[in-house]
Amino acid sequence: MSNRLEALRVFFTAADASNFREAAVRLSVSPQVVTRAVRELEEELGEPLFHRSTRGVQLTDFGRQLAQRARAAVGGVDALFHRTDRRALSQHAGTVRVTAPNVFGRRLIPQALAPMLAAHPGLVLDLRLSESHADVVDEQIDVGVRAGPIRDARFVARTVGRMRLYVVAAPALIERTGIPQSLDALPGFPLTALMDRSSGRPWSWFFSKGRQVPVVAPAFVTDDVDAECAAVRAGLGFGQLVAPLAEPLLQSGELVEVLEAEAPEPWPIHVYRSQRAPVPARVRLVYDELIRVLR
């Protein structure tokens, strides 16, 4: 028997039984299988495990010691695959690392996943916030949330919605500077810029027909979307903000939309995970729940 673990299981079952036939019944195998497993163990270890006589078999001292150690060893391996306390250590126990933009991570994801996390003790959410696409391998990302196209064939991605972009400004700033009438006029106005941490340069602004306008000389620069939103509200410059930030402030009148006719197509929002297999149950659980709550 080439599988040492299974041979040990057969051996200590035989050690607990009155004879090899009884051990075979317990294991649902033939008596010959038990005999062969014990003999192969004896040959490999160089020690007899049973005293054999016409009246039956009896453990040797070495066999008795080995049986005790074999039970512990096989039991430890079995415990890795069979979790008896399903509440304290369920199949969903462990850490799931999620990457998402700040606007989703701060405002939505922790609150949306809270009921699921409470229902699965041992499940840990490790949330990494960034506007840049994470390297799923280097950063050991399990699940991602992103706005914009997903072109990496290594990902399993689901579209869960769409998000608009708005160019907005505070009424006081508009009263002071007026409104840009075209994209070409934008550089002549104070603008805010969101820094791309991976490149060290400000993100360009996006407009219809695939056009992009770089922010060359911003009046305010930050790498945080909330800080940029605060700067726009304070009248430091015109900014291009995502819908979750802009829409409540547009509805309250705190901000005003400009260049509405040049707005880009709403960006798709994706929940994605890598295609590596097998997919742990905890990762699939978080992936499916994010799709449900973001949709």
226-271 pLDDT, tens per residue?
999 999 999 999 999 999 999 999 999 999 999 999 999 999 999 9
φ and ψ at residue 109, rounded to 5 degrees: -60, -50
H helices within the chain, ranges in order?
4-16, 20-27, 31-45, 61-81, 102-107, 109-119, 171-177, 225-233, 243-252, 281-294
| Residue 6, pLDDT above cutoff 90 | no
**Cα separation of 111 and 105, whole Å?**
9
DSSP helix, strand, coil percent of the chain (3-state; round to 5): 45, 25, 35
Amino acid at 284: R
Q: What is the pLDDT, as a whole number, of residue 215?
A: 94
pLDDT in tens, 179-196: 999 999 999 999 999 998
Domains, the chain, in order of start with CATH, read: 4-81 (1.10.10.10), 94-163+268-294 (3.40.190.10), 165-265 (3.40.190.10)
**Cα separation of 167 and 186, whole Å?**
11
The region of weakest confidence among 154-158, 163-167, 213-217, 251-255 is 154-158
Per-residue pLDDT band at 17 (split at 50, 70, 90): confident
Q: What is the pLDDT, as a whole number, of residue 264?
A: 94
Q: Count Cβ atoms within 10 A of the Cβ of residue 92 and give its class: 0-12 exposed, 13-18 middle, 19 or more buried.
A: buried
Select, from the ranges 46-50, 99-103, 161-165, 170-174, the one with the highest average predicted confidence (pLDDT): 170-174
φ and ψ at residue 224, rounded to 5 degrees: -130, 125
Q: What is the pLDDT, as a whole number, of residue 280?
A: 85
Say which residues have a Cβ less than 8 Å from residue 63's Cβ, sequence separation at least 6.
15, 47, 48, 49, 50
Residues paired with 202 in a beta bridge: 195
3-state secondary structure of 123: strand
Give the rounded distance of the alpha carbon of 16 from its chain centre.
46
Tell me how crowded residue 131 is: count the other CB atoms within 10 A of its CB. 19
Q: What is the pLDDT, as a whole number, of residue 229?
A: 96
Residue with tokens 């800080």: 227
Tell me how crowded residue 54 is: count the other CB atoms within 10 A of its CB. 4
What distances in angstroms separate CA 192 from CA 130, 164, 228, 238, one per listed residue? 18, 18, 7, 6
Please check whether residue 164 is in contact with residue 243, taking contact to mean a CB–CB distance below 8 angstroms: yes
Amino acid at 134: A
Q: What is the pLDDT, as a whole number, of residue 157?
A: 86
Please check whether residue 163 is in contact with residue 243, taking contact to mean a CB–CB distance below 8 angstroms: yes
**Cα separation of 263 and 252, whole Å?**
21
Helix (H) or strand (E) holding 168: strand 165-169
Amino acid at 264: P
Per-residue pLDDT band at 78 (split at 50, 70, 90): confident
Q: What is the pLDDT, as a whole number, of residue 277?
A: 67
DSSP 182-213: SGGGGGGS-BEEEEETTTTEEPPEE-GGG-EE
Higher pLDDT, 100 or 2: 100
Say which residues have a Cβ less than 8 Å from residue 286's Cβ, sequence separation at least 6.
96, 98, 113, 116, 123, 125, 142, 143
For the residues 196-221, what does the mean pLDDT come to?
91
